[in-house]
Amino acid sequence: MGLNPPRPALKQMRGLGVKDNTMDIAQKIIEAHKLKFDSQPPLQQCSVSRCTFSRIWAMPDRWTFKIQPIKELLYRFCSDGKGWIDPFGGENSPAEITNDINPERPTKFHMDALDFLRQQPDNSANGVLFDPPYSFTQAKECYDSFGKDLFIEHDKIPTKMDYWASCKKEIARIVKTGGLVICFGWNSNGIGHNRGFEMLEVMLLPHGGSKNDTIVTVERKFTYQLDFGQHSG
């Protein structure tokens, strides 16, 4: 978007007795700013053009993957689940490799999510489903229920931002270039551009009443090497 020089303002300056050389300097400043604005790449415009946005009302469900629009989205991106990983599997996850700290859930592993992710090889996953507890309160209730001490190691406290940032760092490490990550929660942050991911789709699911919307993001990994240790949640 260009910035047109405010020529009426220059005429007003002349009317106030401002010298020509001063106005020449002002004109050069205006032109320089115009060049600066015109030379900026339209990053925001490009991001929007690549990303599909939808808003669909849906009945809420305790189990995210049973919500109808989410079931349809998963069918599009993760139909057979082959090579997909889910660190918070819960119920009904289509991923091939699933984990949930609750031993009663029908998953292959029952570990802390961060420990589970750290065991996965680099660039090994076709995709990851990331459906963690949506708030610190939910996280505390979940982990307290299974006797996990929340205050042993700084980066393993699920009620701290570092924990979720560490999970995202591991996800960025294990997903192949071109692979996908589908995140579920109350925000649209996803894994993030700084970790090498581009946003493909955002789905907003209002549930009515006072319930929070469920927000789904679909991202694709576009880069192979990043200094993951430099990024935070």
Q: Is 222 in contact with 180 (CB distance < 8 Å)?
A: no
Backbone φ, ψ for residue 28 (5° rounding): -65, -40
DSSP state of 212: P
What is the widest separation between alpha-carbon atoms in the chain? 83
- C-beta of residue 213 within 8 angstroms of C-beta of residue 219: no
31 SS3 class: helix
Residue found by looking up tokens 């660190």 in the block? 87
What is the C-alpha to C-alpha distance for residues 155 and 151, in angstroms, rounded to an integer? 9
CA–CA distances in Å: residue 156 to residues 24, 112, 113, 138: 61, 9, 10, 16
pLDDT at site 230 = 43
Residues of the chain with confidence (pLDDT) below 70 = 1-23, 25-49, 135-161, 224-233
- Start-to-end C-alpha separation, the chain: 31
Per-residue pLDDT tens digits for 143-199: 556 655 544 444 555 556 688 899 999 999 999 999 999 999 999 999 999 999 999
Give yes or no for a contact between 64 and 90, defined as CB atoms under 8 angstroms apart. yes
* pLDDT at residue number 115: 94
What tens digit of pLDDT does each residue of 133-158 get? 876 666 666 655 665 554 444 455 55
User: Measured on CA atoms in the order 165, 168, 174, 178, is the torsion positive or negative?
Assistant: negative
| pTM, rounded to two decimals | 0.71
